[in-house]
Chains A and B, each alone.
Chain A
Amino acid sequence: MSSRILPQFALLTPQSISEAVDMLAQYQGQVSVLAGGTDLLVWNYIRKVKPTYVLRLSALDDLDYMNYIPGEGLRIGARAKVAQLLEQPEVAGKFPALYESALTFATPQIRNMATVMGNVLRASPAGDCSCAILALGGQVVLQGPDGQRLVDIDDFWISYGVTARKNDELAVELRIPEPTSITRSAFYRLTRVHEDLAKLNVAVRFEMCQNGCRSARISMGCVGPTPLRLKQTEKLLEGVPVTDELLQQVAAAARKEIAPIADQRSTEEYRRQVSGVILTRVIERAAGTHRIAI
């Protein structure tokens, strides 16, 4: 049930990151952090959360950035919008999986409001940017009272809606490593219309070599409590040519490795069936000319 009126809360407007961290420490557990607001306001409307305090990041302009640093990779500040992924030429060129996830992400209005960090912090199994970032690999930078710590994206999601961020930490930056000249990546989202959440999403990252794939990272969303790495399936791809036969094995392995549920968007059976199909298509697209046909 949705109400037109948001519950009452007090507004905190820190003027610096350290002030924000102090406030988070002071009001631990009673604060919701507001960046884009596209999840937080909906959750407040439906009373899924009723924070005593809303800490807004609106004064922290220095977290707006999305910087590509040659040799290091992509740095995404906590306030950077999903729409910024579509404006930065290096994202399309060097991180195609992330670019493609932003292309189909919700609607233009939501892309203009929602932050990439918010998508990761939401810890939803259906997060599109989250799925792409899990395949690309990366780190979340958390600022706490005792300084910064970096959490690998593989360890960031604990369970549905729960992350490694502690109550007194502010997530300030996402880091996505620089691809090499042999890195390929791709993303695909299965959905009825873009406005809907994904029925299933898949992202892959490969390091390609002459004989096929040197190493692989595969992530799939909507098939478990958080976005999942399919590590068993990845192993099948490593060091061997990408053939039709291999892709069939990969599809079968993916179907076994996932744990989908049935909900209003898809049945469990359907998700299991399409997971292999979508995965092989994404692999073919990422592998591109490196694919060896027999």
Chain B
Amino acid sequence: MKTKMITLCVNGKDHRFEAPVNRTLLQALRDDLRLTETKYGCGTGECGGCTVLVDGKDSICSCLTLAVEAEGRHITTVGGMTRNGELHPIQVAFIEEGAIQCGYCTPGMIMKTASILANNPTPSEEEIRTGLEGNICRCTGYEKIVQAVQRASQMLDTSQNQKTGGLGT
């Protein structure tokens, strides 16, 4: 077994462990670090269930990233969105809009939303729909997901005016 000692920074915390070099970031998160909120869907980069945030801004598929390649980057999963036990406004928006049915796509959808809003805090509906490409909801609850992103955008806009908030890194 070819292994390597790696350090992954996940949700602001460094984890040092020995991982096989063929370990994907998704496997490392779920199996090594037991952070099971990030989901395995297709394993080929098409469904978006495994979406995580890199350096607070870019969405990537953790199923197509080797764990060793994530060294030195800040990875955020949906588990890192909460602050002091309080849900992030994006999470609140998804709940309030009822944008969750079976919930399997939700961690990926929330990380994608974080990426959309980090790059463009006030996206149009079309920009939201384009941005959500690559995240599939098999319950097909897209309307409410789009509404949740719009609501999250408004909520973050308001909270930005009150204090400097921002997305977790």
Chain A residues with CB under 8 Å of chain B are 2, 4-11, 34, 37-38, 41-42, 44-45, 54, 56, 58, 83, 106-110, 112-113, 193-195
A107 touches B2 (CB 8 A): no
A34 touches B66 (CB 8 A): yes
B136 neighbours in A (Cβ, 8 Å): 195
Question: Can you name 8 A-B pairs with beta carbons within 8 Å?
Answer: A4-B43, A10-B21, A37-B66, A38-B45, A42-B45, A107-B48, A109-B45, A112-B54
When A11-B4, A109-B59 are in contact, do A42 and B44 touch as well, CB less than 8 Å?
yes
- Which of chain B's residues has its CB closest to A44's CB? B22
A42 touches B64 (CB 8 A): yes
A113 touches B134 (CB 8 A): no
Tell me if B60 counts as interface (CB < 8 A to partner A). yes
Q: When A and B form their complex, which 4 residue pairs have the shortest distance between CB atoms, in order from nearest? A: A107-B134, A6-B22, A11-B21, A112-B58
- Which of chain A's residues has its CB closest to B4's CB? A11
Tell me if B115 counts as interface (CB < 8 A to partner A). yes
A110 touches B69 (CB 8 A): no
B60 neighbours in A (Cβ, 8 Å): 109, 112-113
B133 touches A107 (CB 8 A): yes
Task: Output the residue of A4, A10, A38, A113 with the most chain B CB within 10 A.
Answer: A113
Within 8 A of A (CB), among B35-58: 40, 42-46, 48, 51, 54, 58
A9 touches B22 (CB 8 A): yes
Please report the C-alpha to C-alpha distance between residue A113 and residue B43 in the assembled complex, in whole angstroms: 15
Tell me if B1 counts as interface (CB < 8 A to partner A). yes
B54 neighbours in A (Cβ, 8 Å): 112
A11 touches B134 (CB 8 A): no
Tell me if B80 counts as interface (CB < 8 A to partner A). no
Task: Output the residue of A54, A56, A106, A107 with the most chain B CB within 10 A.
Answer: A107
B48 touches A11 (CB 8 A): no
A108 touches B59 (CB 8 A): yes
Tell me if B122 counts as interface (CB < 8 A to partner A). no
Tell me if B65 counts as interface (CB < 8 A to partner A). yes
A2 touches B44 (CB 8 A): yes
B2 touches A108 (CB 8 A): no
Interface string of B1-29 (1 = CB under 8 A from A): 11010000000000000001111100100
Q: Contact partner of B46 among A8, A83, A195, CB < 8 A? A: A195
B65 neighbours in A (Cβ, 8 Å): 37, 41, 113
B45 touches A8 (CB 8 A): no
Please report the C-alpha to C-alpha distance between residue A281 and residue B1 in the assembled complex, in whole angstroms: 55
A112 neighbours in B (Cβ, 8 Å): 54, 58-60
Task: Output the residue of B44, B115, B131 with the most chain A CB within 10 A.
Answer: B44
When A11-B2, A37-B69, A110-B61 are in contact, do A195 and B133 touch as well, CB less than 8 Å?
yes
Q: How far is the CB of A95 from chain B (nearest CB, A)?
A: 21
A113 touches B61 (CB 8 A): yes
Task: Output the residue of B4, B65, B115, B133 with the most chain A CB within 10 A.
Answer: B133
